[in-house]
A and B are shown apart, each in its own frame.
Chain A
Amino acid sequence: MIKPFTTLISTAVPLNIENIDTDQIIPARFLKATTREGFGQQLFFDWRYDHQGNPRKEFVLNDPQYRGKILIAGKNFGCGSSREHAAWAIYGAGFQVVISSFFADIFRNNALNNGLLPVQISDSFLARLFETVQAAPSTTLTVDLERQSVALTESGEEENFEISPYKKECLLKGFDDIDYLISIQSKIEQFEKNNKNNR
């Protein structure tokens, strides 16, 4: 089970960097835990802290004027390693939505499987969001999963995003794929029988 997602109105944290790989989101040395909890504190660790462990003031997550449940990031977000810890870390740090103009495939699936909504918008609307939020950090965005839209709440400028109808249903209701796959077990067993000679 995942936490259902319907609508979110929140301020956002603008992370205007392209090609952010999952090694940056959570460095490998933090992957030694055997549970899903606690990764939020290590989110972007080497960008948040210097080698002595002091916060880097210039990094946006350390900037007190930016807060919120929405992370806005540059193109090709989540590339590299398949580690789901990246999605756990983002969700664990309190984000419910990541907005970018392009997501790596595995990260997108991992996010959806954890109730973290990846919202893919056009390069131009992404640039508009960065510009608006950076100029006025108190700007709120409205993300509506039912309508598949993301909007600048005040001005009403908005864009639609795509999501597979199945995944949308799962997120709206808080179901996950395993619930579904277990429900079709007899079909899977039948498939195995039919294909026994081929493998």
Chain B
Amino acid sequence: MKTLFDKIWDAHTVDTLADGSCVLYIDREYIHEVTSPQAFEGLRKRGIQVFRPQQITASPDHNIPTRNQHLPVQDPLSAQQLATLEKNCTENGITLFKVGSPRNGIIHVMGPETGLTQPGMTIVCGDSHTSTHGAMGCIAFGIGTSEVEMVLASQCILQTKPKTMRINVEGEVQPGVCSKDIILHIISQIGTGGGTGHFIEFAGSTIRSLSMEARMTICNMSIEMGARGGMIAPDETTFAYLKDREYAPQGAEWDKAVACWRELYSDPDAIFDREITFDAAAIRPMITYGTNPGMGMPIDQAIPPLCEIEENNRPSFLKSLAYMGFQPGEKLLGKPVDYVFVGSCTNGRIEDLRTFAHYVAGKQKAPGVTAWIVPGSKQVEQQAIAEGLRELLEAAGFELRQPGCSACLAMNEDKVPAGKYCIATSNRNFEGRQGPGARTLLAGPLVAAACAVSGVICQPEI
């Protein structure tokens, strides 16, 4: 009677300390340019080498331009960060997918699509959205730089075993509801701290019916509830997605691997520390109105009036609305939109680009809107071109950019100016997340498409 989480965790526990902390073996570590340099510096200071370089893969993503990637990076600090990553990888024999190369991409898009991420694995990266990989049926979670260094040094990490939570979503979703709406709905109900200390397994008929891309969007945002990670038991959808991908097992190895992966599920009598069930039919297209991802609502509803907010939460609620330039109790429909960002590890996959491109096909981008359509990886970019999505986008007045994290965290030049409103398919609407003073409204790719062509906050026509 074990949970899926327990099965994988226990199989990777090298040792347990007297106080219950576990030495957890890590199958794969991904690194990028922003949170790894200080880890390598730490190794050098200690005079030690990377322990298992063949289990580490690097892909720069956070701090790279999304245009003209063939040219040298203009910002000297960004260029230095990229050069440092390359130097660290070369010196330590670590595989690096350089900017502009065929396998480069946001780590959480690249990992699954190259087949490096596989069911049953333990995976870490110095990025909180590492939870994305859990959609493949593995334990994947974000870590800090000191922990990145631990894994470089020992292929292990010391962790307290989290509690388990199962979130079931049952039934059929209504037309026009994307997986982003499902997860924004869940976070709006549970709150940004509701999953803290827990590892979540997403289950239920709705989750089972989702594509891998859609499952990744769900697991991606587990961290926005404070959870250590999210995961989904692997099934035929998972195996079909993974088969024949470059780093997936091949031939007889594949059959052997699939046989093992079929054992990866929570036993029927497994007990979770917490279990919640949602009705898929009740979920509507969502949007956020505040400055944390828990402040979400169906797009046609009104921001809660002050009387519905608990007294001790009111100062934070009002501070948040003041930042956004909204009033308690007001509706958002019809309000002007200045920017639209489609991309990120949440919604930068081929399905997201298809959804957006097919909606805007035959329509025109609203004149006042600046749009950034940023594929999550080089492979996604190439596939979008091959499928004719770029042509559809260009005919509608949109530009398909080059891959990277881009305006999700605005480390590069893709910044939303102060006071401007941006409909973003990314994962965080924190103050200043998309640039100092920028106002972010999180939504799915379909809502983003509807807003991009109308120039105002509106419901998608379906």
Q: Which of A's residues lie within 8 Å of B, judged by CB?
A: 17-19, 21, 23-24, 27-29, 31-36, 46, 51, 74-76, 79-85, 87, 102, 104-106, 109-110, 113-114, 164-167, 176-178, 180-182, 184-185, 187-188, 191-192, 195, 198-199
Indicate if the CB atoms of A18 and B316 lie closer than 8 Å.
Answer: yes
Contact of A82 among B80, B127, B319 (CB under 8 A): B127
Q: Which residues on the B side are within 8 Å of A105 (C-beta)?
A: 162, 196-197, 226, 228
Q: Which residues on the B side are within 8 Å of A195 (C-beta)?
A: 11, 25
Q: How far apart sit A199 and B437, CA to CA, in the bound complex (Å)?
A: 47
Indicate if the CB atoms of B15 and A24 lie closer than 8 Å.
Answer: no
Question: In chain B between 77 and 120, which residues have their CB closer than 8 angstroms to a CB of chain A?
Answer: 77-78, 80-81, 84
Interface string of B5-36 (1 = CB under 8 A from A): 00000010011011111010101000000110
Q: How far apart sit A51 and B42, CA to CA, in the bound complex (Å)?
A: 35
Say if the beta carbon of B37 comes within 8 Å of chain A. yes
Q: Closest approach, in angstroms, between the C-beta of A16 and any C-beta of chain B?
A: 8
Interface size counted on chain B using CB atoms at 8 A: 72
Contact of A32 among B77, B147, B315 (CB under 8 A): B77
Q: Given the known A-B contacts A21-B292, A105-B226, A164-B160, are A32 and B63 also in contact in the complex, defined by CB atoms under 8 Å?
A: yes
Contact of B430 among A23, A104, A167, A176 (CB under 8 A): A23
Q: Given the known A-B contacts A34-B41, A34-B81, A198-B260, are A188 and B155 also in contact in the complex, defined by CB atoms under 8 Å?
A: yes
Q: How far apart sit A80 and B432, CA to CA, in the bound complex (Å)?
A: 13
Q: Which residues on the A side are within 8 Å of B228 (C-beta)?
A: 105
Indicate if the CB atoms of B127 and A21 lie closer than 8 Å.
Answer: no
Q: Given A82-B35, A84-B35, output 9 extra A-B contacts at Cβ < 8 Å.
A: A18-B316, A32-B63, A35-B37, A76-B196, A79-B192, A82-B142, A178-B150, A184-B23, A191-B14
Q: Closest approach, in angstroms, between the C-beta of B20 and any C-beta of chain A?
A: 7
20 chain-A/chain-B pairs, Cβ below 8 angstroms: A18-B313, A19-B316, A24-B431, A34-B37, A46-B437, A51-B437, A76-B193, A76-B196, A76-B226, A80-B128, A80-B428, A82-B128, A104-B226, A109-B143, A166-B17, A166-B21, A178-B146, A182-B153, A188-B154, A192-B25
Q: Given the known A-B contacts A27-B436, A36-B38, are A17 and B319 also in contact in the complex, defined by CB atoms under 8 Å?
A: yes
Contact of B128 among A27, A31, A74, A106 (CB under 8 A): A106
Q: Closest approach, in angstroms, between the C-beta of A162 and any C-beta of chain B?
A: 11
Contact of B146 among A35, A114, A191 (CB under 8 A): A114
Q: Which residues on the B side are within 8 Å of A46 (C-beta)?
A: 431-432, 436-437
Q: Given the known A-B contacts A81-B128, A165-B19, are A199 and B146 also in contact in the complex, defined by CB atoms under 8 Å?
A: no
Q: Closest approach, in angstroms, between the C-beta of B373 and any C-beta of chain A?
A: 21
Q: How far apart sit A75 and B313, CA to CA, in the bound complex (Å)?
A: 11
Q: Which of B's residues lie within 8 Å of A, judged by CB?
A: 11, 14-15, 17-21, 23, 25, 27, 34-35, 37-38, 41-42, 46, 48, 51, 62-63, 75, 77-78, 80-81, 84, 121, 126-128, 142-147, 149-150, 153-158, 160, 162, 192-193, 196-197, 223, 226, 228, 260, 292, 313, 315-316, 319, 409-411, 418, 428, 430-433, 436-437
Q: Which residues on the A side are within 8 Å of B193 (C-beta)?
A: 19, 75-76, 79, 102, 104
Q: How far apart sit A119 and B20, CA to CA, in the bound complex (Å)?
A: 20
Q: Given the known A-B contacts A106-B142, A109-B144, A184-B15, are A23 and B432 also in contact in the complex, defined by CB atoms under 8 Å?
A: yes
Indicate if the CB atoms of A198 and B11 lie closer than 8 Å.
Answer: yes
Q: Which residues on the B side are within 8 Å of A32 (C-beta)?
A: 34, 63, 75, 77-78, 80-81, 411
Indicate if the CB atoms of B144 and A106 lie closer than 8 Å.
Answer: yes
Q: Closest approach, in angstroms, between the C-beta of A156 and any C-beta of chain B?
A: 27
| Chain A residue, CB-CB nearest to B149 | A178
Q: How far apart sit A110 and B143, CA to CA, in the bound complex (Å)?
A: 8
Q: Which residues on the B side are within 8 Å of A87 (C-beta)?
A: 144
Indicate if the CB atoms of A19 and B192 lie closer than 8 Å.
Answer: yes
Q: Which residues on the A side are within 8 Å of B196 (C-beta)?
A: 76, 102, 104-105
Q: Closest approach, in angstroms, between the C-beta of A58 and any C-beta of chain B?
A: 12
Q: Closest approach, in angstroms, between the C-beta of B57 and any C-beta of chain A?
A: 16
Q: Closest approach, in angstroms, between the C-beta of A161 and any C-beta of chain B?
A: 15
Indicate if the CB atoms of B19 and A164 lie closer than 8 Å.
Answer: yes
| Chain B residue, CB-CB nearest to A2 | B146
Contact of B154 among A114, A167, A178 (CB under 8 A): A178
| Chain B residue, CB-CB nearest to A75 | B193
Q: Which residues on the A side are within 8 Å of B153 (C-beta)?
A: 178, 181-182
Q: Which residues on the A side are within 8 Å of B292 (C-beta)?
A: 19, 21, 79
Q: How far apart sit A79 and B27, CA to CA, in the bound complex (Å)?
A: 26
Q: Closest approach, in angstroms, between the C-beta of A6 and any C-beta of chain B?
A: 19
Q: Closest approach, in angstroms, between the C-beta of B128 and any C-beta of chain A?
A: 4
Q: How far apart sit A87 and B35, CA to CA, in the bound complex (Å)?
A: 13
Q: Which residues on the A side are within 8 Å of B160 (C-beta)?
A: 164
Central interface residue in B147, B150, B430, by most chain A CB within 10 Å: B430
Indicate if the CB atoms of B21 and A164 lie closer than 8 Å.
Answer: yes
Q: Closest approach, in angstroms, between the C-beta of B226 and any C-beta of chain A?
A: 6
Central interface residue in B21, B51, B158, B410, by most chain A CB within 10 Å: B158
| Chain A residue, CB-CB nearest to B146 | A113
| Chain B residue, CB-CB nearest to A113 | B146
Contact of A51 among B313, B315, B418 (CB under 8 A): B418
6 cross-chain pairs, A with B, having the tightest CB-CB distances, nearest first: A84-B144, A113-B146, A110-B144, A34-B37, A32-B77, A181-B154
Indicate if the CB atoms of A109 and B260 lie closer than 8 Å.
Answer: no
Q: Which residues on the A side are within 8 Å of B436 (C-beta)?
A: 27, 46, 51
Q: Which residues on the A side are within 8 Å of B35 (C-beta)?
A: 31, 82-84
